[in-house]
Chain A
């Protein structure tokens, strides 16, 4: 979004003609991304067309056999379905949990506001490993949740929370919540308060102000946040490994295993390319939808 605006701003800036050399400054960055990202991605696609052999590891080939296998083999099917299911579930739950907080943050007019924004941002920058470790301290047999429930005599036996999909859901939601809150809050900020007041004056209840005014107007934020969060959920690594345990498989850990434990480059490349294709199509779809929104303004 920022980039698109930046380019629009260029029109005003060209009052003083830029020296032709300025354009060349973009080259080092382009070469870097081409060499270290696009090149390896093309290499990865080529390797995904090769064949795996337990003895020779990799045989040159040119077939989509690995893709067919990933789609047909129940082992890979389960990984793909688990990943998609987790991503959908976590995105939906995150949206529900994030919306009230986003509304509050978007409407907040206080000198503390920038502090709240920074506090929302801070856990994002701490990293997923640290946050997963925090959930582990809560979820173990001796952890805070079991201890508190036992002390309160709500349960007789400690609950098994660690290494369950439930734990992963909690972990993922905590990771992606700040993205959803900040994205939706920035849209809610731009909705004039007068609209709510007008609805209230016309007799709308709190619920129908939310349902018929705020929610429809914040739809772009909801869409952008959901796409971003869905993609992040699909890519989950640390949370799935640490809270789901060794038998809980999502795409990213499965890709890692293909390279490290199986030494199976073709299959690893195939799964990686499939994950890339799904997440990229969502991201591109999202940015096209955004571009349209900005043009309409």
Chain B
């Protein structure tokens, strides 16, 4: 790490400084060790993960691409995350607008309700939906569990609290003078919204879209009971594989997932300063 990171601490007594640095490094080692490990081992040429590597290779990426469970899992996860974010972000944004700008009783309770999906453990929410889906399947005589619709419905639930939270935060910091000026100059309420309010909300909405997509894309707990043959998301496919073995093919798949999340964060950070919205 660059020395400038520690600059503010230079005036402290040196023993404390060394101790603090060591503890900080240990904490970040624990955080980064597993992610780094996966990326590194995906290039090892031996079949079983062992050290040191005999040679380095790209072969496992080809191998992973050829495994239908991972390839289809990736497509399924991308598809579900895209649809869930496309549905959840507009709905959550509308709710955020109502919470900040609307007048209605029980606002506190409704806000708590919309944040509830974050507070309910994923496996618990998944169990409830699983029973709900099975009973509805029996009543309606059609498949819901292990369908795209069933998974999307569950994942939209994940996108609502993130969207509401991030868009409310962006709305509250918004100066209304520009909107009033536009209205005074004769813009209709719809024009004011489209030309002034919406562009000013953009950072919050972009951040919400990214978080919604990632929350859905990497979700395991909620999806566990809702997947089925032919409709398995990538995290569930990886979990099933890992229950038998850890090998460089799996590491390659995991590295691809890490890469997708990383690229999304970098791209989003160009629009919104992520360190400020979270």
Contacts and interface: CB of A to CB of B under 8 A. Distances in A.
Tell which of A2, A273, A276 has the most Cβ of chain B within 10 Å.
A2
A252 B127 CA distance: 10
Contacts of B172: 2, 5-6, 9
B177 to A, nearest CB: 10
Contacts of B246: 133, 136-137, 140
Given A32-B91, A234-B121, A130 B38 contact: yes
B201 interface: no
Interface residues of A, number: 106
Given A32-B91, A241-B243, A22 B113 contact: no
Interface residues of B, number: 109
Contact of A125 (B13, B107, B179, B214): B214
A271 B15 CA distance: 50
Nearest to B17: A206
Given A148-B51, A235-B121, A137 B31 contact: no
B20 A126 contact: no
A154 interface: no
A23 B7 contact: no
A29 B92 contact: yes
B171 interface: yes
Nearest to A26: B98
B69 to A, nearest CB: 14
A128 B165 CA distance: 23
Interface string B145-173: 00000000110110010001100110110
Contacts of B224: 237, 256
A23 B242 contact: no
Given A101-B28, A235-B122, A256-B123, A44 B218 contact: no
Interface string A1-45: 011011101100111101110111110111011101111110110
B101 to A, nearest CB: 5
B91 to A, nearest CB: 5
B157 A33 contact: yes
A13 B100 contact: yes
B119 interface: yes
A103 interface: yes
9 contacts: A3-B168, A23-B102, A25-B97, A97-B27, A101-B27, A104-B20, A112-B5, A143-B49, A174-B30
Interface of A: 2-3, 5-7, 9-10, 13-16, 18-20, 22-26, 28-30, 32-34, 36-41, 43-44, 47, 97-98, 100-101, 103-104, 107-110, 112-114, 116-118, 120-123, 125-138, 140, 142-144, 147-148, 170-171, 173-174, 177-178, 181-182, 206-207, 231, 234-235, 237-238, 241-242, 252, 255-256, 259-260, 265, 268-269, 272-273, 275-276, 279-280, 283
Interface of B: 2, 4-5, 7-9, 12-13, 15-16, 20, 23-24, 26-28, 30-38, 41, 48-52, 91-92, 94-95, 97-104, 107-108, 110-111, 113-117, 119-125, 127-132, 135, 153-154, 156-157, 160, 164-165, 168-169, 171-172, 176, 179-180, 183, 189, 214, 218-221, 224-225, 235, 238-239, 242-243, 246, 250-251, 254, 257-258, 261-262, 265, 269, 273-276, 278
